């Protein structure tokens, strides 16, 4: 999924290089957006607003683990569906 390595090893002659760099930028934006959304959504769901102690409770820990796992799963499924739709559009 990551194009960052290959983008830097092609010859420095404009054209193909900028396309790959654009892809890399888009991917980085996507990942950052995904991470920020996950953090704010799981924080809103799992962490209570009453700050009684600095450490996370066991309940909050478990909730965060589950929330992150679900978010990842959904992200993968949505990505697959988008890819399939993109492939169907390109083919059909």
Partner 1 sequence: MSALPIRFPGGTPIWAPGKEPLPLGISEEERAQWEQMKKWESYTQMAMESCVAKTVLAGGAGFGIGAFFSLMSASFAYEDPYLRQQTQAGLKPHQKAREVFREMGKGMWSSGKGFGKVGALFAGIECVIEGYRAKNDIYNSVSAGFVAGGVLARNSGPKAAIGGGLAFAAFSAAIDLLFLRRETAEED
Binding site for partner 1 (CB under 8 A): 24-25, 28-29, 31-32, 35-36, 46, 48, 52, 57-63, 66
- Residue nearer to partner 1 on the CB measure, 43 or 85: 43
Do residues 42 and 68 touch, judged by C-beta distance below 8 A? Answer: yes
Do residues 63 and 45 touch, judged by C-beta distance below 8 A? Answer: yes
- Residue nearer to partner 1 on the CB measure, 57 or 84: 57
As measured in angstroms, the least distance from the Cβ of 71 to partner 1 is 15
Burial label for 78, CB within 10 Å (0-12, 13-18, 19+), is: exposed
As measured in angstroms, the least distance from the Cβ of 36 to partner 1 is 6
């Amino acid at each position: 999924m990551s194009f960052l390595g290959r983008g830097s090893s092609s010859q420095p002659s404009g054209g193909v290089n900028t396309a790959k760099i654009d892809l890399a930028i888009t991917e980085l934006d996507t990942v950052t957006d995904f991470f920020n959304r996950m953090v704010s959504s799981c924080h809103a769901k799992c962490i209570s607003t009453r700050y009684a102690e600095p450490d996370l409770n066991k309940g909050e820990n478990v909730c965060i683990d589950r929330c992150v796992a679900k978010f990842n799963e959904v992200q993968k499924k949505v990505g697959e569906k988008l890819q399939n739709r993109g492939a169907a559009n390109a083919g059909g």
